[in-house]
A and B are shown apart, each in its own frame.
Chain A
């Protein structure tokens, strides 16, 4: 194990800080506004700018795309203390992530926990090199909150499964190279027990993603159809019919990343935006006293949520966190983010209604507002989260 003395960590911090100062282009220290501001990777991935390419390549070569993943699969192999230092130093200069997507946030962690050696060697390095972009096949048109009722079927035919059905809300399916997908492999078993977790290439014949236009005007989600898609049986992750375990494990990552939006560091403080948009009275207070009260109430909850997240992660480190606590944080974080964007709309007034102009960055404020409405739906609705808390944490009957 590496040296974790204070002196060694301090010197690592200094090294990291210096390296970032020299290697993170200034453009990559700007707030993330649009979906393309962070590289998404993939066979057809394109860089938005030279700076984005350079930043990705440097981080890739330094193995810091995911600093704590094992070095044997191409990760940085850093111990938790050093990985934290890299995160902190990146945050200190507001460095954008060099790469993002479901490879890093979802399937990578799943493979590291449930994948076999061959699967890890095959897939992890290609996630880190940005070569393969992943999407997630979970929800179906008739299986939303009740995800375990999913009907996409996989029938064994020799050493392949033949997959038929459709998935919905597959983010970036039209830009992704591979999918990790929940399929039913046993129709006789109880609903949670006949599900398997399988991986396949999106270029396999019979896969058709169709983008869905959302209320925000964006179409990052697809409905994806499978018509006799042949996927190798060896691509099952974990045990056949035990895919629900993998799915649940991953849902926690998804919930954590959605609840994380509850304490997203502000680009420009909300009070600055409010005072410049709404004006102030002769005592320097926001000219709209109701808005002032709402904003203060929001900021109080935002600060409290930030420390609740910190406490949850401190408790996780010492094994005191309740395994279902992520549902509580997902509930609160997503509701908080919706409130945040209601306030942005309220502060912006009619300026926040512009949908197309360059002045409004193509309607960034209202489109983002509409996008946040999905926060309390995706990854399990707020009502599903409250149900999980009732059942798993509070042990209420019949929940």
Chain B
């Protein structure tokens, strides 16, 4: 398969780009931040996103979605990265939709997927418990209780957990804290008794939540997939999330790059455009090359997830690692080359640096994925 978008994918990109640049330029994000909006995103725009079919990209057609793949989800995420449009796209349309599609029973799929597909239900995925992404370490306990389970423990960095209507929670039902086996996924109503949600506004003015479970009761019907077997499902869903986040990082990094390139052609010092200085030329050329290389491997990861998901671990780790290093380079060079004005809140370039920092941590930073590549290659 060629490492290029096909015709339909190109059309999808153009329509996502059209909508996002028109309705959600960076000023849209800035407005939400300045207003300290309670949701942190625009529900109207989310509705439009649904009408355009973006919220149901990954939902199978029989459940009201369009049954497309990760390449398509990555395309939308990349455009989101360009303008930093806040929305539960990743949390709901990508992560929750994938978890339900892969592991849900017929009844669960029928109940939730159509509403995720049209955007009326927002899902979120709760995995991390500490400051660093360690998905193999799950301490949140789900103890059997009557016909169901009682959840106790805490989750952090639950992206868009503050607006979620449905939580997908990874809990430990057997084994030690870091055992691969013994993880079970649960569908949890965030309004259920014993569930406490704290909105955590982050450095990038996007939102996540810390969620505490105090003997929150769920029934056996709320188990997503098989008891103790959630690790494999989670691994697959995380891979999709990582590749899609990598796409968003590519979009944000690319935007930082192109804004900086433009600035080099406008800003004058010492009587010259600063883009005439070779020291800056070489640095931005280097950045351009890194971005092109990262672009290729992210597309390869997305394609692999669609065609051969069982063998996608390594390529996804490579893509997310590269997205982290290249994205970080893009925002750091971007800010430095803008000089003093880049440090001002009034100027947009700093937004990309903040967003990139959050995306680095999301589902494993470059170090995490570099270590993963080494482990997958048995060294």
Contacts and interface: CB of A to CB of B under 8 A. Distances in A.
Interface in A254-304: 269, 271, 274-275, 280, 284-286, 292-293, 295-297, 299-301, 303-304
A87 interface: no
A126 B371 CA distance: 52
Contacts of B311: none
Given A300-B321, A328-B288, A311 B377 contact: no
Interface string B347-377: 0000000000000000000000111011101
A318 B4 contact: yes
A396 interface: yes
Interface stretch (B32-40, B138-146, B273-281, B328-336): B273-281
B4 to A, nearest CB: 5
Interface stretch (A170-178, A195-203, A386-394): A386-394
A383 interface: yes
Given A314-B2, A314-B3, A332 B297 contact: no
A299 B261 CA distance: 29
Interface in B265-302: 265, 272-273, 275-276, 278, 281-282, 284-286, 288-289, 292-297, 299-300
A275 B379 contact: yes
Contacts of A315: 4
A296 B371 contact: yes
A396 B296 contact: no
A280 B374 CA distance: 12
Interface residues of A, number: 45
A274 B378 CA distance: 11
Nearest to A393: B288
Contacts of B297: 303-304, 307-308
B315 interface: yes
A389 B295 CA distance: 17
B96 interface: no
Given A292-B379, A300-B370, A300-B373, A397 B273 contact: yes
B276 to A, nearest CB: 4
B164 interface: no
B374 A308 contact: no
Given A308-B296, A386-B282, A285 B3 contact: no
Contact of B374 (A292, A305, A332, A398): A292
B4 A293 contact: no
A49 B291 CA distance: 46
B305 interface: no
B282 A311 contact: no
Interface string B301-331: 0000000000000110111011000000000
A69 interface: no
A398 to B, nearest CB: 4
B296 A299 contact: no
A307 B281 contact: no
A303 B315 contact: yes
A396 B2 contact: no
Contacts of A292: 374, 379
Nearest to A391: B281
Contacts of A390: 281-282, 284-285
A399 interface: yes
A320 B374 CA distance: 35
Contacts of B284: 390, 394, 396
The secondary-structure label for the interface of chain A is: helix
Nearest to B3: A311
Contact of B370 (A285, A297, A399): A297
Contacts of A397: 265, 273, 275-276
A308 B296 CA distance: 5
B371 to A, nearest CB: 7
Contact of A394 (B285, B299, B322): B285
B264 interface: yes
Contacts of B319: 304
A157 interface: no
Nearest to B300: A307
A311 B297 CA distance: 9
B265 A396 contact: yes
A310 interface: yes
Contact of B275 (A285, A304, A389, A396): A396
B208 to A, nearest CB: 27
A285 B379 contact: yes
A390 B377 CA distance: 37
Contacts of A138: none
A395 B261 CA distance: 9
Given A293-B370, A308-B296, A310-B3, A389 B265 contact: no
Contacts of B295: 308, 311
A134 interface: no
A387 B369 CA distance: 33
A39 interface: no
Nearest to B273: A397
Contacts of B317: 300
A331 interface: yes
Contacts of B369: 300
Interface string A161-182: 0000000000000000000000
B276 A396 contact: yes
A325 B377 CA distance: 31
Contacts of A284: 378-379
B4 A285 contact: no
Nearest to A299: B373
Contacts of B321: 300
A308 B285 contact: no
Nearest to A272: B379
A297 B378 CA distance: 15
Contacts of A398: 272-273, 275-276
Contact of B379 (A280, A300, A305, A317): A280
B319 to A, nearest CB: 8
Contact of A314 (B4, B264, B285, B286): B4
A394 B288 contact: yes
A309 B9 CA distance: 21
B292 A308 contact: yes
A66 B275 CA distance: 44
B165 to A, nearest CB: 38
A301 B322 CA distance: 8
27 contacts: A269-B377, A271-B374, A293-B371, A295-B374, A295-B379, A296-B370, A303-B297, A303-B318, A307-B296, A307-B297, A307-B300, A308-B292, A310-B3, A314-B3, A325-B292, A332-B289, A332-B293, A386-B281, A389-B285, A389-B288, A393-B285, A394-B261, A396-B284, A397-B276, A398-B272, A399-B276, A399-B281
Given A304-B296, A304-B319, 15 more contacts: A292-B379, A300-B370, A301-B322, A304-B293, A304-B297, A307-B300, A308-B292, A311-B295, A328-B285, A387-B278, A387-B285, A390-B285, A393-B285, A396-B265, A397-B265
User: What 9 A-B pairs come out closest when comparing CB atoms?
Assistant: A398-B276, A390-B281, A311-B3, A389-B285, A304-B297, A308-B296, A311-B296, A296-B374, A386-B285
